[in-house]
Amino acid sequence: MNKTTRIRNGIIQTPNGPVEADVLIEGERISALLNRDSEAAADSEVDATGLWILPGLIDLHAHTRVPGYEYKEDYLTSSRAAAVGGYTTYVDMPNVEPPTTTVELFEEKRAMAAKDCLIDWGHFVGPVQFDQIEGLAKAGATGFKIFQVTGGYPHDPRLALDDPGRLYQTFQAVAETGLPCVIHPFVQTLFEYLYEEASAGGAPRDIHTFSAVYTRDIVWRTAVATLLELQRDTGVRLQVVGTVAPQIT
């Protein structure tokens, strides 16, 4: 039988506004909201007098840097910070070393998370290998992540898909799993042409020129327009995420 916990005297934040009530938890699930004078017994109690009671937050776009870049952050440090901020679940990304593109690599990464992560964990995998997509879904991947932009970390060429034909095939395969597909939009060849054009026109080949071209609307509008048409035809659960950074001056 699951143990019960009662959180007393807090102010519960709900979609309809604050509620003065107690929370009853059975195991890991909220089982009831109780009137303050309810005599419902619990195995343990928490006094939340003067405090807000909030649902656990979920971060669907986290970068834990595991494996390969643990010197930046690892599961223990990232999950500890998330828990302090009220997050009980996060979903991290595949641009690690090696990138998460196979069932085997996904299982290895999940084992690392199970060992060190203090909160619930999910993962978006890279769908760059068609023969792995179905298996990754069955193995428990939260969804799929695609980068149209490439060149170097964090935009790993091994995770990049920009060709409309390959994107269409990938969207078809991902749509069959029913899982979401998150994508950073970009038109790599258009960006490269515009960068060369700017350089030929006298702009220095430096971070300032790169930034100015990288943030041009045409690069993003063209990508998003294509993605929307591909989604319309394949029915994939698509989420387009922004990556435009401010120009460096």
186-206 pLDDT, tens digit each = 999 999 999 999 999 999 999
Structural domain contains residue 247: no
Structural domain for 86, as ranges = 57-240
Judged by average pLDDT, the poorest of 108-117, 135-144, 177-186, 203-212 is 203-212
Task: Pick the last residue of a domain from 53, 69, 87.
Answer: 53
Pair (39, 135) in one structural domain: no
Pair (104, 42) in one structural domain: no
Give the total number of structural domains in the chain: 2
Contact 157, 196 (CB under 8 A): no
Q: How many residues does the chain have?
A: 249
For residue 126, the 8-state DSSP code is P
Q: Buried b / exposed e across 82-113, counting CB within 10 Å, b at 16+? A: beeeebbbbbbbbbbeebbbbbebbeebbebb
Report the DSSP beta bridge partners of residue 30. Answer: 25
What's the pLDDT at 249? 45
Provide the 10 A C-beta neighbour count for residue 6. Answer: 19
What's the pLDDT at 246? 46
Mean pLDDT of 166-191: 96
Distance of CA 23 to the CA centre of its chain: 29
Residue 40: pLDDT band by 50, 70, 90 thresholds?
Answer: confident
Contact 40, 32 (CB under 8 A): yes
Mean pLDDT of 165-184: 97
Pair (23, 140) in one structural domain: no
Supply the pTM of this predicted model.
0.85
Structural domain contains residue 63: yes
